[in-house]
Structure 1
């Protein structure tokens, strides 16, 4: 049966829009794959350590030549990369924080990018579908005052489709601060439309992927 790797990174718990939308995706996925497997990591509740020099450089040392210290340092990277490789589909909750992705998600990315394994010409994850829910407190669409200042989606688009050769789909609920910021109260209606669309897109994408994987 199919395996889904689900990663959340929002710090907002039950108030998180990205978590709510990834939950919708996951529930639709599980309806289609009741006997499947979901590998779940909550990077806010259980953050990963930042990648250090020893763990990074060990990737260039042939496995038979690695010292016990190098093996230990690389163990977490191997575990995380293996989870990614075992997944038939990936779901990332990636809210926009300070114009880019959460640092906890960046730490996960740093660990799973292993040259000549998950990255490079013969990446082990090429073609894997990844759905990214990247929520935004405001709007960064063309024509808005903040156009061009969302560096999360542009970064993830290049990384996932370029470096890792995944097939990425983005679901972007926006204006998520409208219900709590008085100056944005006139935008609540647009926020509600955006979030409703995101949930619909998440259900549709999960169902579509289930159909593809069952074919």
Structure 2
């Protein structure tokens, strides 16, 4: 079995989203030891910011007139799409940054759509996907920033509705409690949320791997 894992954190070893993905992957590997994990870390090895624009430009340029840069961007877009298409399942660790989707993840999504047979290709049609997303603050009902999360609904729309995945969504909030002194009063709540998210990630990896 082949599982595609995508990380987008810029936090390196301190990443809360990658920590959740590690738990899901470890449980998955324990249940199915022969699983091949194909990894792409968009935070530590970002895709070129201009690749999507260049690939789209290539689509509107006669093949014999395309530049080397256009051909390279097209090939990259097709590779990104093929990684999704060829995977039997995916683990996506995609945190919220500045109230929205990480720029690294957005470039990856745009390239995948450019590299598909059409922008709406169901690259994950019916395949299990574990989406792990983290938020430094609180964005739930009744909080001052309720409605400010423009990341989770977008990712859900793309992964489940456009790409057709069988989605399991796991969220963790208040990851900056204990880091930002202004959030010290929320540390106990943050620990409970962390524990719940860790348990959910491990459970998802374990149970989905048995399907």
TM-score, normalising length from structure 2? Answer: 0.90
Structure 2 gap segments, 5+ residues each: none
Q: Which residue of 2 aligns with 1:10?
A: 9
Moved more, 111-120 or 197-206: 111-120
Counterpart Cα distance in 1 of 2:45 and 2:114 = 22
Q: Which residue of 2 aligns with 1:97?
A: 97
1:79 paired with 2:79, answer: yes
1:66 paired with 2:63, answer: yes
User: 1:142-178: CA deviations, max 9, x gaps?
Assistant: 1211111000001111122222222222111110111
Counterpart Cα distance in 1 of 2:157 and 2:52 = 24
Structure 1 gap segments, 5+ residues each: none
Q: Which residue of 2 aligns with 1:187?
A: 186
Q: Which residue of 1 aligns with 2:108?
A: 108
> How far does residue 73 in structure 1 lie from its aligned partner after superposition?
3.0
Q: Are the equivalent residues in 1 in contact too, given 2:96–2:102 (CA < 8 A)? A: yes
Secondary structure in 1 matching 2:101: coil
> How far does residue 60 in structure 1 lie from its aligned partner after superposition?
6.7
> How far does residue 141 in structure 1 lie from its aligned partner after superposition?
0.9
Counterpart Cα distance in 1 of 2:80 and 2:116 = 16
Decide whether aligned partners of structure 1 residues 26 and 60 sit closer, same or farther in structure 2, where only a CA change above 3 A counts: farther
Counterpart Cα distance in 1 of 2:108 and 2:22 = 20
- Once the two structures are superposed, the pairs formed by residues 21-32 of structure 1 within 5 Å of their partners are 21-32=20-31
Counterpart Cα distance in 1 of 2:92 and 2:123 = 19
1:169 paired with 2:171, answer: no
Q: Are the equivalent residues in 2 in contact too, given 1:6–1:91 (CA < 8 A)? A: yes
How many residues are paired up? 207
Q: Are the equivalent residues in 2 in contact too, given 1:118–1:125 (CA < 8 A)? A: no
> How far does residue 139 in structure 1 lie from its aligned partner after superposition?
1.1
Decide whether aligned partners of structure 1 residues 131 and 60 sit closer, same or farther in structure 2, where only a CA change above 3 A counts: farther
Q: Which residue of 2 aligns with 1:117?
A: 117
Counterpart Cα distance in 1 of 2:41 and 2:116 = 27
